């Protein structure tokens, strides 16, 4: 079995880990179209979001929507209700924003995204629900001067998240690693050794340590446990 990833891949994953922003995220509320879900997650990966959230009854659909590559690098967490989701964000000290046009809404560029932030994204046709609007700290809008009144949800997400990236980059927040070492080790193993990662998950084995050269550091007992042919 391969015990070492290439230097190029190791360095690329390490660079990704350094720039991940664990206190910046989005929460999709019943966003149901696979291409929209996939596009939102792809944008989140591009700006360094570590985990995206969703309030969605059809959890199986979310897994299908994320089975296009980005799910390897961006974690997903489901919540049964918007109340559960916002409670989770509040526990982490996040400001909760919702994309919604109302009398208290602000231009999305006027928000300070260097604070821990989650952006709630409403359903494609009806937008954010009353619960999401009531639970959010603030409403934000993307100003529009044309005839259409709203943007596609994935487009709106990209515009807002790239403003967040711009502000955070200017503040130097991409220069220091924010993810803890345990998370980094899991992603190094998953991204560098996908087959072995799946086998460890299947057999309920602890993940090995990946050293600074991209080598797997594990004792003989771990390798024997991995090689053991377990029936499905």
Same-domain check for residues 185 and 148? no
Count of the separate structural domains present in the chain: 2
pLDDT of residue 72: 72
151 is in an annotated binding site: yes
Per the CB < 8 A criterion, the answer to whether 39 and 156 are in contact is no
Same-domain check for residues 93 and 194? no
Domain boundary residue among 170, 189, 218? Answer: 170
Same-domain check for residues 194 and 130? no
Whether 232 maps to a domain, the answer reads no
Same-domain check for residues 208 and 94? no
Q: Return d(Cα 163, Cα 169) in angstroms, integer.
A: 10
Same-domain check for residues 204 and 108? no
pLDDT of residue 138: 95
- 3-state SS of 157-202? HHHHHHHHHHHHHHCCCCCCCCCCHHHHHHHHHHHHCHHHHHHHHH
Straight-line distance from the first to the last Cα atom of the chain, in angstroms, rounded to the nearest whole number = 21
Measuring CA to CA, which residue among 88, 55, 54 is closest to residue 71?
54
SS3 131: helix
Residue numbers of the domain that contains 189: 181-227
Whether 30 maps to a domain, the answer reads yes
Whether 13 maps to a domain, the answer reads no
17 is in an annotated binding site: no
Torsion region of 56: left, alpha or beta (phi above 0 gives left; psi -120 to 50 gives alpha): beta
DSSP single-letter state for residue 21 = B
pLDDT of residue 222: 92
pLDDT of residue 1: 60
16 is in an annotated binding site: no
Task: Tokens for 24, please give them.
Answer: 């910046």
Same-domain check for residues 221 and 161? no
Same-domain check for residues 211 and 139? no
Summarize pLDDT for 5-26 with one digit per residue, the tens: 899 999 999 999 999 999 999 9
Same-domain check for residues 199 and 127? no
pLDDT along the chain (232 residues), means of 10: 83 94 96 90 95 79 53 86 96 96 90 98 88 95 79 94 98 94 94 92 93 94 79 42
Torsion region of 69: left, alpha or beta (phi above 0 gives left; psi -120 to 50 gives alpha): left
The whole-model pTM stands at: 0.87
Per the CB < 8 A criterion, the answer to whether 67 and 128 are in contact is no
Domain boundary residue among 127, 150, 170? Answer: 170
CATH of the domain at 45: 3.40.1280.10
Same-domain check for residues 133 and 211? no
Strand partners, 210: 216
- 124: number of Cβ within 10 Å: 15
């Amino acid at each position: 079995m391969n015990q070492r990833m290439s230097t190029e891949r190791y360095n690329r994953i390490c660079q990704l880990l350094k720039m991940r922003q664990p206190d910046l995220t989005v929460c999709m509320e019943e966003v149901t179209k696979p291409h929209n879900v996939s596009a939102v997650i792809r944008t989140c990966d591009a700006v360094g979001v570590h985990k995206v959230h969703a309030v969605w009854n059809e959890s199986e659909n979310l897994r299908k929507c994320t089975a296009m590559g980005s799910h390897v690098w961006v974690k997903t967490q489901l919540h049964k209700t918007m109340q559960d989701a916002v409670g989770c964000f509040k526990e982490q000290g996040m400001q909760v924003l919702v994309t919604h046009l109302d009398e208290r809404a602000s231009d999305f560029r006027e928000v300070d995204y260097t604070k821990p932030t989650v952006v709630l994204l409403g359903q494609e046709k009806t937008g954010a629900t009353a619960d999401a609007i009531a639970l959010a700290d603030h409403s934000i809008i993307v100003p529009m001067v044309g005839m259409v009144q709203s943007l596609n949800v994935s487009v709106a997400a990209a515009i807002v998240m790239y403003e967040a990236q711009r502000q955070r980059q200017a503040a130097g927040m991409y220069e220091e690693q924010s993810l803890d070492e345990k998370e980094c080790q899991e992603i190094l193993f998953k991204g560098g050794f996908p087959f072995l990662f799946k086998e460890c998950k299947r057999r309920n084995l602890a993940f090995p340590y990946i050293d600074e050269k991209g080598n797997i550091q594990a004792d003989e007992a771990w390798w024997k446990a991995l090689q053991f042919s377990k029936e499905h």
